[in-house]
Chain A
């Protein structure tokens, strides 16, 4: 089966600019996650969708970050305006849904803020 697809792989922007990331989960996976991974740290959950509804977004900085999952399939994560501390890898993952289901990760988008 095809894995989780993410684009772009790399993005360089200046602070205060905006950026968007795209994720296409594995077909049939109801749950989609966006993570932020800062260099040398584990992934930190930003937002979790179950179909097109938000399950948890408690760690999403809502003043600058937004995410949507239209029609319960693809998802986009947006940052506006970007700050230097947003430099990180943004990972998307999906799972079948329900409890105790493993997540399948994409290879991420590496964001650098100048």
Chain B
């Protein structure tokens, strides 16, 4: 089955700095890569996603890049703010039975210091 590795497990930055979280996946059939933000006591919330036919996608301060050949994708957050502090999860998904099966990474705890 699919295996998703996520690094680092913890990331501490100063407000205004950039943060980068990296993920690798093993199954070349995976073709949809969402990123989720999870705050304490809440469920994961989708923040950005990328499909396999796209190399990069940006939404304001958040961007995601995908390298299908190397099987890795990354989340970039610029101009970090204290409210960005949360746990971030990457996922790799592949189609199955008309839907898709996601596999999540173990998460990165991002701490933004004011």
Contacts and interface: CB of A to CB of B under 8 A. Distances in A.
A97 B95 CA distance: 11
Interface residues of B, number: 30
Contacts, number: 72
A42 interface: yes
Interface string A10-44: 00000000000000000000010000000011111
A105 B99 contact: no
Interface in A61-83: none
Interface of B: 4, 6, 31-32, 34, 36, 41-46, 49, 51, 89, 91, 93, 95-107
Interface of A: 4, 31, 40-45, 48, 50, 55-56, 91, 93, 95, 97-108
A102 B46 contact: yes
Contacts of B89: 42-43
